[in-house]
Amino acid sequence: MCAIRTSSHAVYDLKYHLVWTPKYRKHILVGEVAEYAKEVLRNAAEAYGMWVDTLDVREDHVHIFLEAPPRYSPARVVQILKSISAREIFRRFPWLRSKLWGGELWEDGYFVRSVGDEVTSEIIRRYIRYQDKQSDIVQLKLWDDS
């Protein structure tokens, strides 16, 4: 993953670790279904300008570590990935609907954690606390100017 990305109005480094489960935590993400889920999730992320670093589809949950542009909130990222993947997986494997009453592939909830590489939470806390306290503090470098 690239450390810093740019868009027309932003310079950013937004990485998320996301986890969600099939409805009722059913063990349905196996074999061809799991492989197809990986393909669909990668394609959906790419179509929306996201970059997948690591993806693991287990029989009862999905882990994805990705970078997303700031125009998408973490909730929107999850909504995009879950809705597109559900539609495409049901299209390819219609028999799954009979295993998941109610016609939904994914549980409503999810786990999200923002992830940083070089700039940790403690570095940001110290920078904010002490930025006006010392005149000799070096400006925090937000991105490489080269």
CA–CA separation, 26 vs 16, rounded Å?
24
Residue 135 lies in a domain: no
Residue 15 lies in a domain: yes
| pLDDT single digits (tens) 3-38 | 788 888 899 889 999 999 999 999 999 999 999 999
| Domain at 113, CATH number | 3.30.70.1290
Return the pLDDT at 57: 94
CA–CA separation, 37 vs 58, rounded Å?
10
Residue 61 lies in a domain: yes
CA–CA separation, 136 vs 126, rounded Å?
14
Residue 52 lies in a domain: yes
Q: What DSSP designation does 77 have?
A: H
Residue 133 lies in a domain: no
User: Is 16 designated active site?
Assistant: no
Residue 130 lies in a domain: no
Domains in the chain: how many in total?
A: 1
Strand partners, 66: 16, 52
Buried-exposed string 87-124: b where 16+ CB fall within 10 A, e elsewhere:
ebbbeebeebeeebeeeebbeeebeeeeeeeeeeeeee
CA–CA separation, 84 vs 20, rounded Å?
14
Residue 122 lies in a domain: no
Domain of residue 49: give its range. 5-117
Return the pLDDT at 24: 93
Residue 65 has pLDDT above 60, yes or no: yes
Return the pLDDT at 123: 76
| pLDDT single digits (tens) 105-142 | 999 999 999 988 776 777 777 866 776 665 555 555 55
Residue 50 has pLDDT above 90, yes or no: yes
Residue 138 lies in a domain: no
pTM of the entire predicted model: 0.82
Pair type for strands 111-115 and 15-20: antiparallel
Question: Is the Cα dihedral 1, 53, 121, 79 positive or negative?
Answer: positive
